[in-house]
């Protein structure tokens, strides 16, 4: 058998092996949960019957998220990371192509290719603002807007988002980093039933390892999404952990404030090279990937239009100090 000719061909994941000290490459939260909250979670897990399936649509967590945001449970769906929900959304809607605006999150392209959906790229302008994506809305399956955008860090204007929503096509507004920004647009779900807002516990909530994401949309869209979603998709352990984290939002908020303060400190330091950001990372016009790697600091190397740029996640103060030192050395040397 020639397996290679019988499968959809994708590149394998590349895992960076090595003894690096500082990981600023995945936009993770630098803070793990404090031991007392981990204890509290363990206590909850001890009480959880492992022999039983979790709630079929994870309703206890949906209720908590809805209450947190001021929506109803019927407006919320949870997934195994928001990545799972991107794939689910692409399966739900008819249409030939999706619209993305590069440079942006590459998982939209990945899932589109997997689903055999065409990709129309309407690149962001020179300030990384959305262009005329509405012009390509006819017969589109969905339009993706990432705000704050990964990897550029900027947000899109509310008026622009509204004008895209007016096209009537399903609009996926990815707010994975919204907790680090000034304002969310999730309230637009009350006005536009073609809006799906994606959120995650992986970034501000510091739970990348437990894999929980969610989407907020009209009751009707959420109902249709549930009909095509595998039952019992979210495991009891992750569900409980995410629920408990919502009870400790004060701690989450404290970490968000710390990260924003550190972000602004690094931004000021590299003003001539950095782009303003409302996320937990900065885009820098510095070709310093290899230089930093040699110093044990891992960041994200960018390519294509952002060739010669790096994306650095905001870490703990000590980590950021090392990053700043290394980058200053890089700037002096090159």
Ligand X SMILES: *Cc1c(COP(=O)(O)O)cnc(C)c1O
Q: Are strands 297-298 and 22-23 parallel, antiparallel or unpaired?
A: parallel
d(CA 281, CA 152): 9
How many other C-beta atoms are found inside a 10 Å radius of the C-beta of residue 4? 7
Which DSSP helix (H) or strand (E) runs through 110? helix 107-114
How many residues of this chain bind ligand X (CB under 6 A)?
A: 14
Check residue 181 for interaction with ligand X (CB under 6 A).
Answer: no
Q: How far is the CB of 8 from ligand X (least distance, A)?
A: 21
Query: Segment contacting ligand X (CB under 6 A): 10-18, 199-207, 218-226, 230-238?
Result: 199-207
Check residue 28 for interaction with ligand X (CB under 6 A).
Answer: no
Query: Segment contacting ligand X (CB under 6 A): 77-85, 156-164, 230-238, 322-330?
Result: 77-85
Q: How far is the CB of 148 from ligand X (least distance, A)?
A: 9
Site for ligand X (CB under 6 A): which residue of 75, 150, 277, 320? 150
Using an 8 Å Cβ cutoff, are 61 and 234 in contact?
A: yes
Q: Which residue, chain included where needed, has tokens 């690149």?
A: 123
Cβ-based nearer residue to ligand X, 32 or 135: 32
d(CA 87, CA 76): 16
Peptide bond into 151 cis (omega under 30): yes
Residues 201-260 interacting with ligand X (rule: CB under 6 A): 202-203, 208, 213
Site for ligand X (CB under 6 A): which residue of 172, 176, 181, 259? 176
Q: How far is the CB of 36 from ligand X (least distance, A)?
A: 25
Cα dihedral 284/287/291/296 (nearest 10) = 40
Check residue 174 for interaction with ligand X (CB under 6 A).
Answer: yes
Site for ligand X (CB under 6 A): which residue of 64, 69, 83, 103? 83
Quickly list DSSP for 236-289.
Answer: HHHHHHHHHHHHTHHHHHHHHHHHHHHHHHHHHHTTTTBPP-SSSEEEE----H
Q: Which residue, chain included where needed, has tokens 């692409």?
A: 90
Cβ-based nearer residue to ligand X, 202 or 236: 202
Reduce the DSSP state of residue 159 to 3 states and report it: helix
Query: Segment contacting ligand X (CB under 6 A): 52-60, 81-89, 231-239, 254-262?
Result: 81-89
| Crossing angle for the helix pair 236-247 and 35-47, to the nearest 10 degrees | 130
Cβ-based nearer residue to ligand X, 146 or 260: 146
Q: Residues interacting with ligand X, by CB under 6 A?
A: 27, 81-83, 105, 146, 150, 174, 176, 200, 202-203, 208, 213
């Amino acid at each position: 058998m020639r397996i290679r000719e019988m499968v959809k061909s994708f590149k394998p994941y590349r895992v960076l092996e090595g003894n690096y000290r500082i990981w600023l490459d995945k936009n993770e939260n630098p803070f793990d949960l404090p031991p007392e909250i981990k204890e509290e979670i363990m206590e909850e897990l001890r009480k959880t019957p492992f022999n039983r399936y979790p709630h079929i649509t994870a309703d206890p967590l949906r209720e908590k998220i809805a209450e947190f945001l001021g929506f109803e449970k019927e407006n919320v769906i949870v997934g195994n990371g928001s990545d799972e929900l991107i794939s689910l959304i692409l399966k739900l809607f008819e249409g030939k192509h999706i619209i993305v605006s590069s440079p942006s999150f590459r998982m939209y392209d990945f899932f589109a290719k997997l689903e055999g959906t065409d990709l129309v790229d309407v690149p962001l302008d020179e300030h990384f603002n959305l262009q005329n994506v509405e012009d390509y809305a006819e017969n589109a399956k969905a339009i993706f807007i990432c705000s704050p955008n990964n990897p550029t860090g900027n947000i899109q204007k509310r008026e622009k988002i509204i004008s895209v929503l007016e096209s009537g096509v399903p609009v996926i507004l990815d707010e994975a980093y919204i907790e680090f920004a000034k304002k969310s647009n999730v309230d637009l779900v009350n006005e536009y039933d073609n809006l799906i807002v994606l959120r995650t516990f992986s970034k501000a909530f510091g739970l990348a390892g437990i894999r929980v994401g969610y989407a907020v949309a009209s009751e009707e869209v959420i109902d249709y999404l549930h009909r095509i979603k595998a039952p019992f998709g979210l495991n009891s352990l992750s569900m409980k952990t995410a629920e408990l984290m919502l009870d400790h939002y004060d701690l989450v908020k404290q970490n968000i404030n710390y990260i924003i303060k550190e972000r602004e400190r690094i931004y000021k330091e590299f003003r001539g090279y950095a782009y303003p950001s409302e996320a937990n990372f900065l885009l820098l016009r510095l070709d310093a990937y290899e230089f930093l790697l040699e110093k044990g600091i891992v960041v994200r190397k960018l390519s294509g239009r952002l060739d010669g740029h790096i994306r650095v996640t905001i870490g703990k103060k000590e980590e950021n100090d090392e990053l700043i030192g290394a980058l200053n050395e890089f700037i002096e040397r090159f």
